[in-house]
Amino acid sequence: MTIKDTPEEWEVRATQTPFVGNKTSVRTDDVVMPDGSVVRRDYQVHPGSVAVLALDDAGRALVIRQYRHPVRHKLWEIPAGLLDVPGENPLHAAQRELYEEAHVKAEDWRVLTDVYTTAGGCDEAVRIFLARGLSEAEGERFEAEHEETDMELSRVPVDELVRGVLAGELHNNCLVVGVLSLVAAQQGDGLDALRPAEASWPARPFES
């Protein structure tokens, strides 16, 4: 048996959107189960996101510390942001987020991994990129607002992040998945064997 996720869509008898927010909404679907019963499923509709594990020449990852109100924590994270424009090229979005949150640019981009963050209750899909060949970006720094005005920036050795993940001290989804995927790739076929930055992404199709 091949261990691979496959697309499938069960019949939806009815659907409604009881809540529409600024960036996301909540949808309620009446879904036909394999036994013929109809079950109501509520889930968050999300535009999708990108995240960037930016690795410098010293083997340190660029991380930010930011307040996240839903979990009442300041979390260490990797740069990330929403796909604000339908069909937006995720690489371009990732480059924008790295510039805005860290004022950094990168020469080498690869796809590290693609994930559904909470498939049981949200349709959010995230593409996590690996960025290398880092340097200071030109131009003025992006003007921060809201939670980002209190944001901290640091460069941390990957080994230290792995220790923090396994010790239960670091919890951000993209940081955890990104760091552990990086180590797996390094110990496997190597970082240069990762998918190219423009690899297709069925979860969020885009134009080059």
List the catalytic residues: 148
Residue owning tokens 């919890």: 171
Token pair, residue 71, equals: 């979990």
The one-letter amino acid code at 114 reads: D
Show Cβ contacts of residue 171 under 8 Å, excluding neighbours closer than 6 positions. 71, 73, 75
Residue owning tokens 């797996």: 184
Residue owning tokens 């036994």: 35
Report helix, strand or coil for 124.
Answer: coil
Q: How far apart are the first and last CA of the chain?
A: 34
